Amino acid sequence: MITYVQYNKDNGHDWFYIEPSPDGTKWKGRCWYIYKLAKYEFDVEFEIPVGYPVSPIEIVLPELEDRSVKMYRGGKICLSIHFKPLWAKNAPKFGIAHALSMGLAPWLAAEIPNLIAEGHIKEK
């Protein structure tokens, strides 16, 4: 994960910042998405599940709760159709960077433009 983050920072492609709780089970930070030259930032959080690494991480965007049909209660983004089968196939090799890059990133790319167009997210 550290190599992935550093590579993105070095090349100007970083799009999230996270840090763990002292015990490493809960992570919080910010993620951002650039759309039509505007930057949209969101809180992001997740917990390492008890069944990890077999069980995938559930990513939460609390401030977007109830704004998308591709989201569960509590602001958990929907990863079940596309990402969970990929995780199951590649467990235990996948980790946090995989959850963010192959789970959160595609969700942001698919949902944020729609949420902006529908007026659920305003430019800051």
- Residues marked active site are found at 78
Between CA 87 and CA 93 the distance in angstroms is: 9
Contacts of 16 (CB under 8 A, 6+ apart): 29, 30, 31, 32, 44, 100, 104
Give the type of residue at 73: R
